[in-house]
Amino acid sequence: MSLTVRRAKAGDENRVAELAMKLVDQHVAYDGRRFARIATIDRMAWFYGEQTKVENASVIVAEKDGEIVGFAYMYFEPVFYAELATKVLWLHDIFVDASSRGSGAGKQLIEAVASEAKRFGANKVLLSVAAKNTAGRDFFEHAGFTTTMHEMMLIVSE
């Protein structure tokens, strides 16, 4: 098995979009009141394809035997007023296909995220993890992330 991690390039966006849709479905299954299935495969392919061209963004893919099995999408914020933070690399999305979990792809993606953070000049990586995603929380804690915030929600109308 050959496992590599690299920056996404033109032509990767459709596979990244497929994986991103799995991530969307996972979140909607956790809590359909919090997470909405607003994405389409075409819009996701467009979005991630465009993010490879954005100066402060990066899309990283993990390939196993030449097939993309995971991805990470991040955005650098030199000053992030909404989070009262500076020099933040915000890890918006990270996902490894279920068939490749345990292969080291997630670990290598996190290592690549940390490298991208340094390249951008960030001194921290922030992320959110769904409250019901215990496997994700365990993975991130094992990778060295610590809890700094808890998101809460009040439903005001349904």
Contacts of 122 (CB under 8 A, 6+ apart): 76, 87, 88, 89
Domain of 131 in residue numbering reads as: 3-142
The whole-number pLDDT of residue 73 equals 98
Tell me, yes or no, whether 83 lies in a domain: yes
The packing angle between helices 41-51 and 13-30, to 10°, is: 120
The domain total for the chain is: 1
Q: Measure Cα distances from 89 to 8, 71, 77, 140, 157 in Å.
A: 17, 16, 6, 15, 33
Tell me, yes or no, whether 130 lies in a domain: yes
Neighbour count for residue 111 (Cβ, 10 Å): 14
The number of C-alpha atoms within 13 Å of 122 and in the hemisphere containing its C-beta is 23
Q: Tens digits of per-residue pLDDT, 82-118?
A: 999 999 999 999 999 999 999 999 999 999 999 999 9
Tell me, yes or no, whether 72 lies in a domain: yes
Tell me, yes or no, whether 106 lies in a domain: yes
User: Does 1 score more than 80 pLDDT?
Assistant: no
Tell me, yes or no, whether 53 lies in a domain: yes
Tell me, yes or no, whether 152 lies in a domain: no
Q: Give the β-pairing of 124-126 and 85-96.
A: parallel
Tell me, yes or no, whether 17 lies in a domain: yes
Q: Tens digits of per-residue pLDDT, 43-91?
A: 999 999 999 999 999 999 999 999 999 999 999 999 999 999 999 999 9
CATH of residue 86: 3.40.630.30
pTM given for the model: 0.94
Tell me, yes or no, whether 118 lies in a domain: yes
| Residue 158's pLDDT band (cuts 50, 70, 90) | confident
